[in-house]
């Protein structure tokens, strides 16, 4: 049964959505789908996802173990799998991901797949930047993307207990 759970984080409330076995989606507070889903689905508990995201925001977790079940096209699923391979606190570009897929000309398609990622943070689409090194679109907004990248770099360099 699909259900949802709210989670307060330093970047605002996230809505976690799961199917009883896996996490299927994470929605930012600004998502236009958020209220409709929360009204149409029962509230439930997604304990592992909530614990791991809380630990990530605390700076004590760099990789996730929560089972995931994103829904997308075969191409999107391939892109999302590549996103999960981007090391914590590092970035890459759309073009580099396209090249890893074997089609360096597919950077726009990679960007579209990145933008359709239903599991931001856990599938770290925030770690993808433009070829010029600038931050580009993010469902949670560019300030949130910047915050996530800065937080990861800080925690990697200083550790979780130094602000």
pLDDT at 116: 95
pLDDT at 66: 95
pLDDT at 67: 95
How long, in residues, is the chain? 163
132-136, Cβ contacts within 8 angstroms, sequence gap of 24 or more: 136/94, 136/111
- At 93-130, the pLDDT tens digits run 999 999 999 999 999 999 999 999 999 999 999 999 99
Q: Where are the domains of the chain?
A: 3-58, 74-158
What CA–CA distances, in Å, run from 99 to 49, 73, 110, 127, 152?
31, 19, 10, 16, 25
Q: If you average pLDDT over residues 136-154, what whole number do you get?
A: 93
Q: How confident is the model at residue 163 (pLDDT cuts 50, 70, 90)?
A: very low
pLDDT at 160: 60
Class of domain 3-58: alpha beta
pTM over 0.85: yes
Whether 155 is catalytic is no
- At 67-101, the pLDDT tens digits run 999 999 999 999 999 999 999 999 999 999 999 99
For CA atoms 28, 34, 60, 69, give the dihedral sign: negative
The active-site residue out of 125, 128, 139, 148 is 125
pLDDT above 80 (res 153): yes
In CATH, the number for domain 74-158 is 1.10.10.10
pLDDT above 90 (res 20): no
pLDDT at 161: 54
């Amino acid at each position: 049964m699909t259900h949802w759970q709210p989670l307060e984080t330093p970047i605002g409330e996230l809505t976690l959505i799961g199917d009883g076995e896996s996490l299927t989606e994470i929605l930012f507070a600004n998502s236009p789908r958020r209220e409709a889903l929360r009204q149409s689905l029962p509230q439930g508990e997604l304990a592992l996802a909530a614990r791991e995201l809380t630990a990530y925001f605390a700076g004590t977790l760099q990789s996730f173990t929560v089972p995931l079940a994103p829904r997308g096209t075969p191409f999107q699923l391939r892109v999302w799998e590549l996103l999960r391979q981007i090391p914590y606190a590092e970035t890459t570009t759309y073009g580099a991901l396209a090249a890893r897929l074997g089609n360096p000309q597919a950077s726009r398609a990679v960007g579209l797949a990145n933008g359709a990622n239903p599991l931001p943070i856990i599938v770290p689409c925030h770690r993808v930047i433009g070829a010029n090194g600038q931050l580009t679109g993010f469902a949670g907004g560019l300030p949130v993307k910047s915050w996530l990248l800065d937080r990861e770099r800080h925690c990697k360099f200083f550790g979780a207990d130094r602000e």
